[in-house]
C-alpha cells in the first residue's frame, strides 16, 4: 500500500533535466523534479523529486523528498522521505516518516522528529526504517 500519490507531470513547478548541472544553493516552492546533477544545498517547504538519472551531492531541507536517483548528503524533511526501488540515499535523515521501498538503499542514520506525520508512532517508524536499512524487512520482533 502506498501512503502518498506520485505527482503528475502537470503538478511540477520546475524541472532540471538530464545534462543540467547546478552548483550552489537551490531554493524553490512547489514541486521540483531533478534529473541532472546538483552540488551544494537544497531548501523548500514543498516537494523535491530526485529522478532516476539524478546525482545530488547536497544537504536537503524539504517538506517531502522522493528519491528515485542518487543522493549523497543529509536530508531533513518535515513530512516524509521515500526511497523508491531505484533510489540510493547515503547520509543521515531526520523525518517523521521514512519509507524505503524494496530495492531502495539507505546508508546512514535515521532520526525521528517531534512532529509525527498523521499519528504515526515515531519510535515504531524509526525501528522499522532501521531494520529496512540493514536489509531486514522485519522490525526485529
Residue 67 belongs to some domain of the structure = yes
CB-neighbour burial class of residue 48 (10 A; exposed 0-12, middle 13-18, buried 19+): buried
Tens digits of per-residue pLDDT, 46-100?
999 999 999 999 999 999 999 999 999 999 999 999 999 999 999 999 999 999 9
Q: Max alpha carbon distance in the chain (Å)? A: 46
Residue 44 belongs to some domain of the structure = yes
Domain of residue 53, residue span: 10-133
In the chain, how many domains are there?
1
| Per-residue model confidence (pLDDT) at position 9 | 43
In this structure, the strands spanning 37-43 and 98-100 are unpaired
DSSP code at position 50: E
| Residue, of 119 and 93, whose pLDDT is higher | 93
Residue 129 belongs to some domain of the structure = yes
Residue 86 belongs to some domain of the structure = yes
Confidence band (pLDDT; 50, 70, 90) for 113?
confident
Residue 34 belongs to some domain of the structure = yes
| Residue, of 129 and 83, whose pLDDT is higher | 83
The residues that bridge with 55 in the sheet, in sequence order, are 37, 70
Average pLDDT of the chain, as a whole number: 81
Quick check: pTM over 0.85? no
Residue 138 belongs to some domain of the structure = no
Residue 2 belongs to some domain of the structure = no
CB 41 within 8 A of CB 59: yes
| Per-residue model confidence (pLDDT) at position 117 | 43
Residue 60 belongs to some domain of the structure = yes
| Per-residue model confidence (pLDDT) at position 11 | 67
CB 46 within 8 A of CB 30: yes
CB 27 within 8 A of CB 9: no
Amino acid at each position: 500500500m502506498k501512503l502518498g500519490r506520485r505527482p503528475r507531470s502537470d503538478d511540477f513547478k520546475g524541472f532540471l533535466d538530464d545534462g543540467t548541472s547546478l552548483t550552489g544553493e537551490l531554493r524553490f516552492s512547489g514541486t521540483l523534479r531533478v534529473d541532472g546533477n546538483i552540488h551544494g544545498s537544497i531548501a523548500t517547504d514543498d516537494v523535491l523529486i530526485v529522478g532516476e538519472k539524478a546525482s545530488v551531492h547536497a544537504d536537503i531541507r524539504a517538506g517531502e523528498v522522493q528519491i528515485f536517483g542518487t543522493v549523497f548528503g543529509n536530508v531533513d524533511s518535515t513530512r516524509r522521505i521515500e526511497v523508491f526501488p531505484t533510489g540510493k540515499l547515503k547520509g543521515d535523515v531526520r523525518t517523521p516518516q521514512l519509507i524505503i521501498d524494496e530495492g531502495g538503499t539507505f546508508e546512514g542514520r535515521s532520526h525521528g522528529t517531534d512532529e509525527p506525520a498523521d499519528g504515526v508512532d515515531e519510535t515504531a517508524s524509526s525501528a522499522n526504517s532501521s531494520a529496512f536499512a540493514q536489509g531486514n524487512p522485519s522490525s526485529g520482533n
